[in-house]
Structure 1
C-alpha cells in the first residue's frame, strides 16, 4: 500500500519521501515502485518512469519527514504500533499546518489523533489496493478533526491524485470494510464447515453475482493477517458475532499462510 501511495503521489508531481523500517525494506520498496512504473510506461499510462521515480526518495530515518506538508502512515494494521508512530511523527513534523493521516483499514482515527498535540490535523485517508488502479479513497475525520483539514486533503486526493473520495464516520471498518469483511468471513466459515470448496465458493460469486473475484481470493489479496486484524477491530467495537474471526482464519495466520504475499493462503501462488 505504501509503495502504491508513493507512486500515485509522484505521478501527480509531488516530492515524495518514503520512510521504511530498514535498508532492506527500503531497497525492496523502491524496486516495487520501479517495476510498477515500468509497467505503466509500457502501457502508455505515463511518458517517463525514470522521471516519476526521481521524485521519490526511500529512506530509513523518520527525521527525514520533518519538512513534510502531508504524512500518510501505511504501516501494519497494529493499533499500538500506529499510536506510537503518530506520537513520534507529532514531535518530528515541524509545520504547524502539516496533516498527519493514516491509511488504516479499521482502527478508529480518534485513537491516533489523541496521541498527538494536533488532533485537529489528524485524518483517516484510506486507499484501496492496488492503489494505482482503484479510484476510491475513504476520508475519515475524527470528532476533533477540523473541517479545514478534511477539505485540504479532499482537494489533494481529488484534484492532484484524481481519486474519488467518500466521507465516513470514525467507526471501525469505515464504510467498505464494515460491509466487506463480514462477507469475506462468511465465505471463510462456509469453506471451514466443508459446505463447499474454495473454488466453488469463489466461482459462485464471480459467475453468479458478477464479482470481479471471489471472497476467498480477495482475502488472499488483502492478506489474511490484515483480514483478521480488521475483523478484530470491528468485533472489538461492535461486539457482533458476524465480525469475529473464524478459527480457521486465526490458524492460517498463526501458520504464516497469509495469502499472495507469502505464496499460500486459500490458494497457492507461484
Structure 2
C-alpha cells in the first residue's frame, strides 16, 4: 500500500496528507478548488518548516514530503489506482454520503475506504457502498502530524482483514491505533464533548468565567488545555455538530448542545478558525480572553 488518496485539504485533510507523505507514501490530495488545495499545501509547508526549525526533520525530508503530494480537483482522477482513500471532508453526513457514493463508482473493488469522521456512523456511511466490508473509520486527532492516537472504528460490516490492515498501517505511520465499535461519538468524542458542553453550561449559568473554568481544569485535573480553549481549537461548529449526532443517536438530553454554544455558532464565533470564540485570536489580542460577554 503506497498510493493513498485524501479527500479534503482543510485542517484534518492536510494534516493526514502531511503524515502519509512524510512516511513515504504517494498522496493524492483532493479538494473542490485549486485555491483550497494551495491553502492546504501552504499549511503543510509551514508545519514542515516548524519541524525543520526544531531539527526534527532535515531540508531534504521537507522536500521529499512535498514531492510525495499531488493535487486533484475531482474525485475520479484523484482516486485512480490508489489502495486507500481517507475521506476528511467537513463533518456533514449528507456530504460524506455523497462522497462515498462517488467512491463506490470510481474506486477499484479492493480499495479500502476510510473516513476521518469524528462522530458519524461508519455503518451508515458504508450503506452507500456495494461492498461495505471495506469501509472503516480512521479518526485522526488534531494536529495530525503531532498527535499519536488514531481511533479505528469498525462498522457493522467492516471485515477483520480491513481492520487489521488499517491497524498495521497506522503503526507504520508512527501512530497508536485503538480499535473501537461504531456508536455515536465513538470513544473520544462520546467522553470529550459532554465535558466541553458542561464547561460551556458552567459559563452560561454564571458559575465562573472562561479563564477560571479553563484554569481549574488545567491545574486541578492536569489537562494540557482547558475545555473552552480546546473547543475553540476544535471549532465550535464541529463541537455542535458532534453533539447533534450524539443527541440524535442516543435520544438523550444530556447530549443536547448548550444554548450558548448554539448562539455562538449562529453568530459565526467558531474559535480559532474564525478569529474569535471563547478567546480572541486576532493579531492584536493574541488569544487573550474575550472580556465583555463572558466576564
| Residue of structure 2 in register with 1:35 after alignment | 46
Decide whether the 8 Å contact of 2:22 with 2:64 is kept in 1.
no
| Residue of structure 1 in register with 2:101 after alignment | 87
Whole-angstrom CA distance in 2 between matches of 1:34 and 1:61: 23
Shift of 1:58: 2.1
Whole-angstrom CA distance in 2 between matches of 1:146 and 1:11: 28
Shift of 1:254: 0.9
1:106 pairs, out of 119, 124, 138, with 119
Whole-angstrom CA distance in 1 between matches of 2:134 and 2:26: 21
Q: CA RMSD in A?
A: 0.8
| TM-score, normalised relative to structure 2 | 0.89
1:43-192 aligned at under 5 Å gives the runs 43-47=54-58, 48-63=61-76, 64-93=78-107, 95-158=108-171, 160-192=172-204
Per-residue displacement from partner, 1:105-139 (whole Å, max 9, x unpaired)?
00010011010112000000000000011100001
Q: What's the secondary structure of 1:168's corresponding residue?
A: strand
Decide whether the 8 Å contact of 2:137 with 2:152 is kept in 1.
yes
Q: What's the secondary structure of 1:196's corresponding residue?
A: coil
2:26 pairs, out of 9, 12, 15, with 15
Per-residue displacement from partner, 1:133-181 (whole Å, max 9, x unpaired)?
11000011111111000011111111x2010011111001001110000
Decide whether the 8 Å contact of 1:30 with 1:58 is kept in 2.
no
Decide whether the 8 Å contact of 1:3 with 1:32 is kept in 2.
yes
Per-residue displacement from partner, 1:40-63 (whole Å, max 9, x unpaired)?
122122222111110011221112
1:250 pairs, out of 262, 271, 274, with 262
1:208-219 aligned at under 5 Å gives the runs 208-219=220-231
Q: What's the secondary structure of 1:49's corresponding residue?
A: helix
Unaligned runs of 5+ in 2: 1-11, 283-295
Whole-angstrom CA distance in 2 between matches of 1:36 and 1:223: 20
| TM-score, normalised relative to structure 1 | 0.97
Whole-angstrom CA distance in 2 between matches of 1:39 and 1:230: 31
| Residue of structure 2 in register with 1:25 after alignment | 36
How many aligned positions are there? Answer: 268
Whole-angstrom CA distance in 2 between matches of 1:226 and 1:133: 20
Moved over 3 A (4+): none
Shift of 1:239: 1.6
Unaligned runs of 5+ in 1: none
Per-residue displacement from partner, 1:89-111 (whole Å, max 9, x unpaired)?
11111x22110010000001001
